[in-house]
Every structure is written in structure tokens, then in C-alpha cells.
Structure 1
Amino acid sequence: MSHTVGCKELSDWSESCPLYSLLRAHFRRHIAQCFRKLTVLVLVPGRFAWSVCNLKMSSISRILRDIASEMERRAETVSSTEELSSSSVPSRHPVDAEVCRIFASYGNRVPGNPSIAARRRSTYTRAYFCLSKIDQTIAPTREEKEFLSAAGLGEQRITFFGDEGSAEEFRSHILVAYPKLNGCGGFELLKVSGLTRSKKLSVIPCPRTGYTIKSVRIHIKHSLIYIRPMQKNIDTTPVEHQTGGYGPKEKCLTCSEEFFFSELKDHVKHCKSPNEIDTALPEICHPVSPEFPFPTSPDRDNSSSDTGIIDLTDDQVPESLEEWRAMRSQQDQEYQDCLLADQEKSDLQKKSAEMEERRIKAISERQLRLIGVPEQAHGIPLRFKYPSGITRTRRFVLTESIQILFDFVGEDEDATEYFHIQDALSVTRLNSNMSGTFLDNNIIRSQTLYVHWIQPESPEFVPALDYNNHEVAPNFNNMSCSPLTDSPPAHGRSFSPKRADLKTILNGLWAKIDNTSCPTSNQINICRDYTGNVHNIMKSTLQAFRRRRFNPAARLDVVFVDSEKTSEGAVDGGGPTREYLRLLMKAIHQSNIFEGPEKDKRLTLDTHALEGKLYTQIARMISVCVIHGGVAPNFFSDRLFNQICGKPSLPATLEEVGDFTFKEKLLEIKNATTVEDAKAAIEKAEDSLAIVGAWRNITTLRQRDALVQSAVDFFVEGRLNVALQQFTEGFNTLGLLQDIRAHPDLFRNLFVEDVEPLKAADLSAVFQVNFSTPGTHKREIESQTICFWRDWLIDVEDGECAPVTLENVLEFVSGSSSIPPNGFLMQPTIEILPEDSGKIFPEANTCNIVLKLPVHKDYQSFKAQMCNAILWAPTFGVA
């Protein structure tokens, strides 16, 4: 019976019921609960129990009367012996005794406390990053992070369970996440410290009991924690992903089997219970043709698990097991064919994307190379007709490499990775991989060339790709094809674009210079000082660079004036400019804005230079030296170069502190062996430390080290922020800064010390000798003189002709002490003076870079006069 009753109606009825007064003394608390929870007494044969039921109002009276009658009946049957045995207990009414017996358990019940409910097991999740080197103090870059992640290190989110104060549990969780840490002799935790964009890592103090979850929470709130091995570098070999899956295991709700987290999602898509597998069997085996349909019972419930049962006695079932297997094999083959077709389609799309990427890259590389090769006004015009119908014309020097032509043609946005060109009246094609000059490829006059793109789907593409991969030299002798036809050539090879090199980049920057224009404001008048003092060079350069109309993108006009105020020449054909840029770089090297060793200069703070923006002007001078003349600084420190590139550097060291007095104070603090000695040294240096913002009170030697490091960092980097900003701004001249930051590894050899000195082989290779006709007497004399020249260069390199150096020889010929990274703008040549000229000293034309060697009968005479000429020349060679 199920009824409902309201609390108010039940309360009104209880006031008028005689049974209410009888039970009030013993059931006051229970009836109150009964009213609150909408519960009533329900009589069960043989016992009483509490039950929550829904009752109707009309049933309450009858139920309670039954309860009272039963209680009176039970009270009459209580034996007198039971009353005697409980004589020590005060006598009570039989009804009271029966009620106490029935509801004894309810009197001892304690109300539940929700706050004492079982708590969930506490967890703690944190992002960690495992490093591989024991001495790494800089946060890894994006490329390094990807490399470490592939090696099983890198960043992971680790969830910790268990005791937060247990160091062993913390260690075990870390080693499980990074198995390669085992055997590395322990590990330590680090965090990023310093300013907002700081990359420096500092060690998190380790408690006496070891790292625990609790200690990590105290020192780190939300930032990434780095793990660094202590005794052994970790192997960074990439880790192969196991096919068994990864992550925690979870049970499938369908088949009740456990799978790894990485495999569970794919499994659920195809998982079926045993009943579903039986149900699916007829569907799998159902033939395409309706000749052999499987039987289905008309009265069978399709939703039942028995629908998978097949009646093998039915006549419509396949006659034999072999027939069923053949049918199943056919379906499997069709399924495999579909998979193969999908795979081929995916591979084709991927290959097409790769081909398009290679095509775009080839066009980009051609455009970049073409920037460094300006069009020559005196060249031969060539006209190109493209498949789209457009026509382009450009002038070329026929002695130049034909690769310039291919770069010009292939920079079009519709260009393909492979292509060829052909004259309308010629049977020979010029493929984009050919080498040599224009003359070598029979281009000797102005003509029109037709361009043919080779598409990836074209039959010409495969031979070109094969020859490119196997590096087979093509044969173009027997080609015959009209420029308007699509017949494939007998051979072909692709042009493989190279990576951008320093020479190409510098040529591109040099191309921005307008060599046809030389404004008056670009004239630089230099008073030559034969004593080696370069102060006049810097002074004259600053005066020119600060002119309002000075244009670094135009040609420079350098005029040297001797001590008698006489100009050395009115025309600057290139030699004076190279000599000036070499002397200017020497003056920059001695500038007061730098400090440190000769080949490891760094910026120093000069308030006068800061106010006059000398840092910016000197950076502009360096840019002009590099782009106009290829003169490289080669004296920057790694820190200064990284600062210009915007790259992080290693923490500053005491050796980099230029102020000797301040360095001594910091050394005294660092060398203190006790906290008391360190405090005493800090007190002595209080004024200096307060200026750099590093003064503080310390209580441990670790805080002492942190104080010294913060003082060094501010002195070496922090106080130079404004100066560095000015200095970096100056490199924007002609766009040099953008290329430096785009290719820092290439420009490092220009700015940081170059360990490769000039060699005799370098000078021998840079000059081209103008010989006379072979077989003549003059040719024999010239050959002997060249042998003397090369032997003399070897003696100079070995120090046999000291104090003459190879740099002095190159200065004598070209005005530059080093070979520019992008090469000389014109080909250096050697000529032999006539035998009957009577000249015993060499002569040089520094504008055209021409060296004229004298004729001597023996090597010793040649050697002596060559050395004398180099040492006696006041500046550079005789023009």
C-alpha cells in the first residue's frame, strides 16, 4: 500500500488520538523525526520497523490502532520471570519495555556529519621541463625544446599522488616521467629568474630531506620548473614511440578490456560486445547478390541478441564453407582496394604539396640571388617570351655566368622548379641547370628566347628529377625541339637552389647603393697622418656623416690631403675609398665607446658619447664599411653580437667588469668564506653597490653569490641599455640590421674574431694573370716572374720577409687589408712590366686593382725589391 500524508494533517490528528499520549514519553524524538521525514510506523509480522512510505490520510487511524493493539497483546504475554530477573532495574510498563526493545538501535544512532565524509585523494599537477646538459643556465629556445621533446625530455605535466612531504615519492614520479634521468647522478630543480624577459635559470634551494611537493609549492607558484641532471649529460637520441600506446589504462565499457589512453578512443569506435559481434556476422557475410540471402525469422525480434544465429539448414544459405570463404575473401579484397586507393590519393596530395613548396622555394632563392647582380647598362639586351604571352627584356654581360639568366627568367611567379629556354631558330635547348658563361652556351648577340615551364605531371619532369637525384651530367648536343612544341628532351636536369650565403646577402645590400650618383654632401676630406694616428679619420668622418644631406645609399667621394694640404687626386675610382674604409675601421676599433681585449670588444658607458649619439654614428660607419667596401669589424665580443641580434647571452662574469676598483670590491665579497666576512666586504662596497642597486643584507653565502651576480649583470648589461639601443639603431643603415638578425650565423664571422688569417694561397687565387701569347719569349719571362711572385708570397706567410705581411701586400695593391666577404667589385689582375722598361719596383693601380710586377733575373733580387717597395710605399701603390 502506498499513500501520502501532509505533515500538518498528521500533526492535527495526533493531538486527538489517545495513542499519542501513550507514546509521547518514549517516542517524542522519533515522532518528531517522523514528521520531518514524512515517515510512519509500519507493522511487519513478528517485529516493528521504521520505513519511509507514502500514506493517505484515511489510513493513518487504522494503522495506528493496529499498532496499539499489537503492543497491548505483546505486553500481556510478558512472563513474570523476566520481571523478577530485572528486579534491580526499576519496574516499568510492559509497553515501555517492548518499545525500548524494538527501537533500541535508534536510540544509539548518531546523526551523520557530512564534513567527516571520505575525502578524495589529494593530487598536485605541475608543468616540468627536463634539460639535457649539467651546465645549462639559459632557458632553451623553441628549436631546442622541440629537439629535447623528441628525445623524451622537454616539457610534461606531471601529477603527484601521496604524501606531499615525501622526497622519495617526488623523486619516483620525476623518474617515471623522465626515464633517462636514471643513472645521471641525481637532479636539481631550476626556475627562470630576473626580469620579465629574462632567460637565466637559477637553482631552487633543496631542503635537507630532498625536494618534495610541499617545498616546490613554496618556491614556485605557476611558472615552469626546469629539471637539470647533476653529474652526467642525458643522451638526446630521439625516442621511438612504442606501438603499445602510452598514458594510463582504462577499461572499455563495452568489452570490459583495458586499453592505453592513446588507444582507447580508436578502440571505442570499432568495439562491439560479444552479442553485437554475433549480430554483425550475418551482415559481414551477406552477399552482394540476392541469390543467397540469409534467412530471417518473421517473428524474431531484430533488437534481440539472438538475431546473429544463422540457420545452416536453410536452403538459401551458401552450399559450402568454401563458397562462404570465397565470398569473404572477395569482400576483403575490395576493402583492401579501397584502402589502397585512399592511400594513393593521400600520397598524391602530399607529393603535390611538396612539389609546390619546392617550386616556391626555388623562385625565392632565384630572386634573392638576383638582388646581388644589378643590370649592366653596357650589356647585350635579351628578350624573353613567357608561355603566358608576356615579354621581358634585360641586359647581360656575355662573360658572366649564364646562371644569372636562369635566375632572371625563373623569378616569375608562374615559374616551375625545372624549365628550359630556346631560340626560335635554334635546335638546342638551354636547360636551367646548365653552367658556364653566355659565350660558352653560344649566346653572342641580342635575340629572343622562348621559355617553357616543365610541370610536375609532364613527362619531362621525371627525367629531370632522376638526373637531378643521380647527378648525371646532361648531354645537350643532339637535342632537337621547337620552342612551341611539348616533345620531351633526351636529357634534363633541374636547377637545385642553394641556401643564401653571406656573399649573396652582401651583394644584395650593395645593390641598394646608387653608384651613378655622388652628391657633394658625400665628399669626405681626410687629412693623412703618416704616424698612424687615426684621430683625423674619425673626426672627418663624423663631420661628413652628420651632414643633413649625407646619403649612405650613394657613392662615397674620398679625397686624401697630405700634410702640405695638397689633394692626392680628384677622382675616387675605388682605391681611395677602400683605403679610407680600412683606416676608418681601425679608428672605430680604437674608439672610446668600446672596452675589453683587442679581439673581444664590448660597449662601455660614455655619457658624452651618449648625449651626442656617437653610438648611433659609429654603428652607421660600421654599416657603411661592411656594405660599401666589405671591410669587417672582426672585434666584437659574443655578448655584443648577441645583443645586436636580440639573442640571449650567458650570464655576465666578473672578468667582463671594466672598472678595476669595482671589480676588486666584488672579488673581495665573492672570495669571503663566511657570512661575517661577506657582510664586512659588502659594507666596504656599500656606496658602489647602492649605485648599481645591488646593496642588500645577506644571511647565507648563497645570497652573497646572488648579490655579486646581480651587481655584475647590471654593470655589464643593465646600465648600457640606452647605449645599446642607440648602437643597434645605427645598424638599420641600408637594412643591415634586418639581415644580421635573419642570418646571425653567417654574419658572426664578420663581427666576431675571424680565426682564419690571410694565406698565400688566398692571394694567389684572387689575382688573374694577363699572360702574353704562349710560345713567345715574352711568355717565358712572364712565367718566370709569376713563379717568383708565388714563392715570395710563401716566404711572406712564413715570416721570412718580416715586417712585411700578406695584409701589407693586399693593402699595397687594393687599399684593403682583407679580401671582402662578397669579393672585390672588379677582378684583381697581375701584369708584367716590360723587360726593357728599367723598372725594378712593383706598381699598383688601386682603383682597378692591377699589380704590375717587375722583371728580375734571380729570385733574391725580386724578393728584396718587392719588400722594399711595400715598406717604402707611404700609403698604397702608385696610381
Structure 2
Amino acid sequence: MPVETYIPPHTNTHKCTPTPCPSPQQTYIPTHSSTLSFQGGSITALSQQGNRHSFLPKAPSSIQSTLRTLFQPYNAAGQSGRMHRHMQVFCCVHEPLCTLAPSQAKKEMLTLAGLGHRRLELKSVTGTFEEFRDQLFEAYPLLINAGGFKLMRGGRSQTLEDIPMPVYGYTIPFLKTLSLLRKAIAYIIPLQKALPLNCGSLPVMADMNVIKEVCQSCSASVPLFELQKHIQQCGRASLHEESIIHMSSLHEESIIQSSPRGSSSWPLRVVLIQDPFMEKFNPNDAEKMRTVMVSLSLNTQQFEEVLRKEFPFLGSSPFELCRLGKNRLLHPLSCPIKTPSAIRASGELGRSALYIRPQENYSDGGSPTPAVIRSAHPSPCHQGTPSVVIETNDGSVEGAVDQGGPRREFLRLLTRDIQHSRIFEGPEESRSLVLDGGALQDGLYRTIGRMLAVAFIQGGLPVHFFSDRLYSQISGLPSPKYRVEDVVDYDIRSILEKISMAGTVEAARLEVMAAAETLGVMGALKFINNLEDRDVVVQIALQFYLEDRLAQALTQFKEGLLTLGLLDEVMCNPRAFQRAFTQPPLPLTATDLANLFTPTLSPVGSNRRRLENCTIAHWRDWLLEVEEGNMDHVQVEDVLVFCSGASRVPLSGFPEPPMLDFFLVTDSNSLPLANTCSVTLRLPLHSNYANFSRAMQLAVACSGVFGCA
């Protein structure tokens, strides 16, 4: 029977010797050979790289395709690049080491915060922990800062059971086959740090398709699910202002209706702003709106006088008139003539009130302080510190750029005036708050608190004049025991002294009845049954006078101290700051000042070096005479003020080490010179001590009189 033989169609060499086979069959050679040889009834394959399945016949194409699939060899490279997918439901909680499944209400809260339930399609190519972790971080961005995480599954009674982590970490193949989760929820538990639930600061918001809406009050784009909360915060001031405008409009209409026809008066709604740098209106830093009747015949100067009389807080400080525009932004009036008739005729105000914004951040009527801040924004070269220009009462200024000296001088003068301001009472080194209705209405407590914070942070100047009680009120330390001696008011102190010194119950009753009206206002009026009741009356009165009545003023004062984060640091470290606020500073001595400066000397052996050594001796002798009080109108602190602008060495020291330089005396230049910015003192080279002492005393004594030195 003839043998049927298939020869690959693309073979190059054929050596065939037909030989009959014992049985008729079809022979297939599954090799990579491209050269076949039939010899002696056998088939020999010569191995050569070619088509893997070139032995297959052309005719049966379906059989050829099937066999190619069946006999295709394993390809490791192709299998490793294959992607596996796995669907899994996760629930990320915010509490570390959580052991209970969250309730439904908590799940909703977690979802709003960008956590909670999510159904994720996990894609695995490499099957590593990093691959799984990155996909979780993409779904839960807050998990990045959790300090690691673990997986748990739900058990009985809402408890969570650990899913043991392999040594190579969680992987997608592990979750699919070995974790026994199946369709259960995988709970993600942070390990080291709790995740924030404040959805307003979520980084995930940038990656999600969040529906947003524009706030009509501030034009900000806000996520829709947060819009109601945003309106409550942003729109509160606008609604408050609109209600004030509405009530003022009604009041204005009533004034117009009650005023005689043809009157030349104009009911003008006015708001005084206390912050000179305010650009967006904030009701917390402004007085309540008033309606002022102004005459339309007033000129510019008369109109300013009316406004200053209505708002004594302005004093003699310059101010600008503004209107309230869109988004509660303040815009200065553009009309060239600032008179009531011109403002009304221009129609620029519209429905807005007239807003008065001072152009100086400190003014106190007849205060002798000559320093005011002129720069609304710090200069970049001063590294975030305010730029200050010193101005005298006649308007002359120091022609210099502030590199530290003018700022120290301003803050020193400012702190000195604050110590003696009307919101404090008591001994000079132990001041307490006093209740002043005008200062409370004008926000002066808040303003002075801000000034002290700036002086402390920017200038490093300790306060030193707070009483122990005032410091405990702002720092949270326990208040000291109430004492009658702490009451500054003479009349009240006399009443309490008489009651506390009463030796019998009858005498105490008589004193209480004599002061019944005052004690009734304090809430301390009580019938005396024994001497213990006498002490109770005194303690209640002291608590009211020293604590309770000052609550609103103290709150406003603490709001000011929050500036630059000072109050937060004080409350966190009350003991560390106590000395800087309450204890009087140690007196500055001649030795302290002499050791503070480092002299710049000429080479040893030179004639100039000899004069410099002589001048240094004169300098130290003169400081000793100043300390002993032998120099009229000059103290050791005045010498430091002359050199640096500060009467005390700042808490953090000077930015540069103080230096002592020398110069030769000439007819036009024989007085010492100082650079307060670099804290450099230049001494004249006098060989005679009397001449040196006269020059130093004249320069230091006259340096505090600006325009005359």
C-alpha cells in the first residue's frame, strides 16, 4: 500500500527514497526542521530554525490552526505581562487601630470626607505590594499620610478581624486567593495617624468630578455639598451688613420725614474702620453703622471736623473715605472734592454707606509718641518685618531706610506709650486692665493687643509690665488669690477695707448696709449672719471687680494678642513666657554695656592704636560715671538707645554683633556717631577725658529730641 507523505512547501532540500511502510498511515514530524530526508523507510529531521509547525499540510486550515494552538510552547515573557483584574469593596476609616465596623451615620461622614466605601477594580501586572498600595493611595489620597495601614474584615457583632499581612505585604493576588475575603468588605485601618475628617481640605477634591457652585457673596467656587456651610460663614457678614443697611435706611427715611421741607441736611450713614490696612470689609474690625446729619453746605475742612467729632478715635490722624463695592471690597471715593454736596451729587455711594479708613495704625489724640507706621505692606528686603519712618510733631522725618534701627526705636516708643495708656491701671511695673466703655466700643483693647504682639515678635521687646493676675487671665494659669490691695479704685477699695476690718457681725452689717448700692451692682449684697459671711461678701465683690466685669475687655484684648501667633505660644508655654511679661527687667549696668560692644582696633604699635586704647579707657570710665548718676540727663539705657534705638537688649539679641569704631576729631566732627541699624558706635579719638565726656554727654542727651540734635 503506498505511503502518503507530506513535505513542507517551503523546504529547500529533499532527498526522498520511497519505501513502503508496514501499515498505511499519515506521518507528522513535530520539529523545527526545514530539511527532510527519507532514507531506508525512516524519516530523518535535520534541525534548522524555521517555521515551528511547517510539517502541517496546507489544505485543512482549521486543523492546522487548532494544532498550532495546542502545541504552542509556554512563553514566560508573555505570561508575566498579562494583566489580572479583581473587583473588591473597601471601606477606609479614619481612626487608627479601629476594632468596630463604622455605623451607617459614620459611613456617610467618612464618605463626605473622601474615605468610606468604594468599589475598586484592582489591576495586577507585577503582583507586588507597591502596585496594590499605589492603587489604594489613588482612591484614598488621605491615606498617604497615615503612616502605614492594615486590612481587616468584618466579624460577628460588628467587630473587625485582622487579615494577616504576608512578609511581602498585601498584594492583589493575595486578596483574590488567600485572604478569604471573597465578596466581603475589606476595611482599611490607618496605623499611626488619624485621618482628617475636614472635607474642605481634602486633596482628593482636585481629582474627583466635584459639582461646584459660585458663591454670590464672595464669588468663590465651592463644592455643592459644602455650599450651605460656606454660606453660613461667608454670608454672615453680608447678611448682617444688609440688615444694618436696611434698618439704617428706615431710620434715614424717618429722619427725612421728620426734618422740615427744604432742609439742607443730609442723613449720612457712616462706618468707622479700625484697621488701616483693611481691603475687604470685616465687621469685627469696624464700629457699628451710625447715621450722621451733615449739612450740604460744609466744605472739606468742616466735613472732616464733623467726622472727627463723631469719631474721637480718629484724633488728628489722616483718613480716607471709601465705599463698599462687590465682594465687600473697599474702594476709595474717586470724586475730587470730598464735601457732602459733592459726594451726594456724584451718586458714587449708591446704596453703600460712607466708610472711614484711617491711614495710620496708631494714633492717640494728645499722645507724645512721634512714631507711626507708614508702610501697609512689609518690604521684601526686611524679611517680612514692617518698615518704619520716624516723624516728629512738626512733620519732619529721618531720611533713612529702615534696616532695623527705626523699627526698634518705634516699638520702644510704642511700648512705652501703651504701658501708660488708658486701658491699664495700677503700679507702673504691675499693670492690670481697666474697664473703659469708650475703648471697648472703639476696639482699643484689640488694637493695643496687636501692637504688643508686633513689638514682642518683630522687635523682641519683652512687655515686663503685666500684673500676675493679668498674665494668668491671658495665659490660662491659675489666678492668684483675690486681695483688697489689688483694687485700684479708691472708693471701692475703702468700702471693702471697712467691711473686711469689721471685728463684729454688727459692725460688718452696718458697713454692708452703708455700701448696699455698690455691693448690689456687684452682686455681693448679702445678709451677714457671721464673720464668714463678711469674708464671702468681700470675695464676691473682689471677683466681680477683678475678673467678671473685665470679661468683654479681656476677650477683645486676647483677640489682639493672637496676632502673629503670640497668644497661642503663650498658652502652650505659660511658664516660659511669664518672666518676659511680669517680672521687671534687670537694670542695665555699665559693665553690661561695655561688654556688649566689640572694638575694631588698628594694628598693635601704631599711633592710632595708642589713641584707640586711650579712648576705650575714656569710654569705660564715662559709663561708670553715668551709672553712678554723675552725668545730668543721661542714664545707661539712654546710651543703648543712642546706639541701637532700643532701651533693652532684645530677647533674641541684635541681628549683628554691636561694634565700636573710632574716628579722628575735626573741627566739624567731634561728636560721637551711631548707626542704629547695624548697632555701630563711632567714638571720637580724644586724648583728653574732659573733652570726651563733654562730647558724649551732649550727643546722648540731645539724641532723643528729633529735629534738634
TM-score (normalizing by structure 1): 0.38
TM-score (normalizing by structure 2): 0.46
